[in-house]
A and B are shown apart, each in its own frame.
Chain A
Amino acid sequence: MSHGRDGQEGSTGTEPSVPDPFEENVLALMPALRRYSRSLTRSDPDGEDLLQDCVEKVLARRAQWRGVNLRAWAFTIMTNLYRNRHRHWVQHPEVELDDELGLASEADDADPLEKLRLERALDRLSAENRSVLMLVVIEGYRYQDVADMMAIPIGTVMSRLSRARRQLAEAMKDDNVIALRRPK
């Protein structure tokens, strides 16, 4: 176990020398978890925090995993952590503008103002509606899967999805300083 670091680059020195298959699977899920985490949160640091907490929880609860669909299980854990934390965030809604436009946004070429507008509009969604929207639209889950993951009836999934889409459309409209819609 305490097998010092023998020249692994960028290693923290705490990794076991034999790769643990469960941890390797978690590692493989990290990109998807990072995306989901960031789609739920308001800034890159918040996104990384949520990801870190989720990884910790997944590792701490590995004994409770039933052995099927690690991805959905990890996503459920993240959704619950987000709901728990979101109550807290409501009391601290201030986010620095620089935080909001994170590093990853610079990598692609979309209009930064348009991106900020989207983030602002997303901030108006409730935690529940936001997670349903992201699971369906970005993560590509079926409605029944989302219902199972969040332990809610499928009708609730549909009404949250509807509400999220309408609120988002409304928020984008309210905030439509720069009109980018195609003329009819």
Chain B
Amino acid sequence: MTDEFNTVSEDELHAYVDGHLSQPERNRIEAWLEKHPARAEEVRQWQAQATALKSHFASYARSDERDRSLLATGRARARTGATSRRHILGRLAAGILIFAAGALTGLYAPATIAPDRPLEIAQGPDTLPRQAQSAFLIYASEVRHPVEVGADERAHLATWLGKRLDYQLRIPDLSALGFSLVGGRLVPVNGKAGAMLMYEDGTGQRLTVLLGRNTDNRETSFRIASQGGVETFYWIDGTIGYAVTGEVPRDLLQRVADECYRQFEGSSAS
């Protein structure tokens, strides 16, 4: 009743180390730590870490003579990135990159699925989320060329990918959820032409939407697959499989998946 009553939570210990507490709260924690030497030792380690980290990186917090040129480069790149990345030469370079990355996906996806049972599994329903996650991991990391056709050519993107996929593609508008279209690219899905759309929020957080042909015409409910913090919501609707992937909270991703589902329903109906 004495000590149990006067207990201290893990969160309070962190707040104590980080200096977020008032003096009376600090006193209470200190009194408690005196009676709990193991936790006191841990807290001491955390404090030592904090001191070491602060001093280790302190010298980087400096102005540098390169700062202005860094800003100028950033400005120049931001400008070209926003407008003139659609030059022929840029296209060509992107095309080569896509080819290389596409080859990489092609090699990578089957190897992770089932090296010893290549035939049946390769068409199985769980290949979709894995391919979606590979595509996300490869393309969301791309700084310069995450997509093949940018959002400024949205209509062309829809027609082009739709034609390759043999499907009337309507590109979902996710602006209500804070995500705008970056663009899209053609990717192999189940060994056939598939489409990947990429979205980004105002802070650069990315999501991908993958669409691929599904050979065994059937339907599934919403499913989720998760690997190393990368979450995928996927579903199969007749001949098309859909997968929404991101490294975002699951409830947000689910709202994105719901929204995509709703808008894709619209495409097949029209």
Residues of A in contact with B (beta carbons under 8 Å apart) = 10-12, 14-15, 23, 26-27, 30-32, 34-35, 37-39, 47, 51-53, 55-61, 64, 73, 76-77, 79-81, 83-85, 87-88, 104-105, 107-108, 110, 114-115, 118-119, 126, 128, 133-134, 136-138, 142-143, 151-153, 158, 161-162, 165, 168-169, 172
Contact B82 A60 (CB under 8 A): yes
Q: A27-B68, A169-B42 are in contact. Are A77 and B204 (CB under 8 A)?
A: yes
Interface of B is mostly: helix
List 13 contacting pairs A-B, 8 Å CB cutoff, sorted by A.
A30-B67, A51-B70, A52-B74, A59-B74, A60-B78, A80-B203, A104-B60, A137-B49, A151-B248, A153-B249, A162-B14, A165-B49, A169-B49
Cα distance, A158 to B247, chains bound together (Å)? 18
User: From residue B123, how far is it (CB to closest CB) to chain A in Å?
Assistant: 27
Contact A85 B143 (CB under 8 A): yes
Residues of B in contact with A (beta carbons under 8 Å apart) = 10-11, 14-15, 18, 20, 42, 45-46, 49-50, 52-65, 67-78, 81-82, 137, 140-141, 143, 202-206, 229, 247-249, 252
Residue of A whose beta carbon sits closest to that of B19: A140
Residue of A whose beta carbon sits closest to that of B77: A56
Interface of A is mostly: helix
Contact B53 A34 (CB under 8 A): no
**Total A-B residue contacts, Cβ distance less than 8 Å:** 152
Q: A73-B203, A80-B204, A118-B52 are in contact. Are A158 and B60 (CB under 8 A)?
A: no
Partner of A168, one of B14, B49, B78, B143: B49
**Given A30-B64, A115-B56, 4 other A-B contacts at CB below 8 A?**
A34-B62, A60-B81, A77-B203, A81-B204
Contact B59 A10 (CB under 8 A): no
Residue of A whose beta carbon sits closest to that of B229: A128
Contact A30 B63 (CB under 8 A): yes
Cα distance, A172 to B45, chains bound together (Å)? 10
Contact B57 A35 (CB under 8 A): yes
Partner of A76, one of B71, B72, B74, B203: B203
Contact B69 A12 (CB under 8 A): yes
User: From residue B51, how far is it (CB to closest CB) to chain A in Å?
Assistant: 9
Cα distance, A134 to B63, chains bound together (Å)? 20
Contact A23 B60 (CB under 8 A): no
Partner of A87, one of B57, B78, B140: B140
Residue of B whose beta carbon sits closest to that of A173: B45
Residue of A whose beta carbon sits closest to that of B18: A136
Cα distance, A30 to B62, chains bound together (Å)? 8
Contact A35 B61 (CB under 8 A): yes
- Chain A residues with Cβ below 8 Å from B70 are 30, 51-52, 55
User: From residue B160, how far is it (CB to closest CB) to chain A in Å?
Assistant: 25
Contact B143 A34 (CB under 8 A): no
User: From residue B44, how far is it (CB to closest CB) to chain A in Å?
Assistant: 10
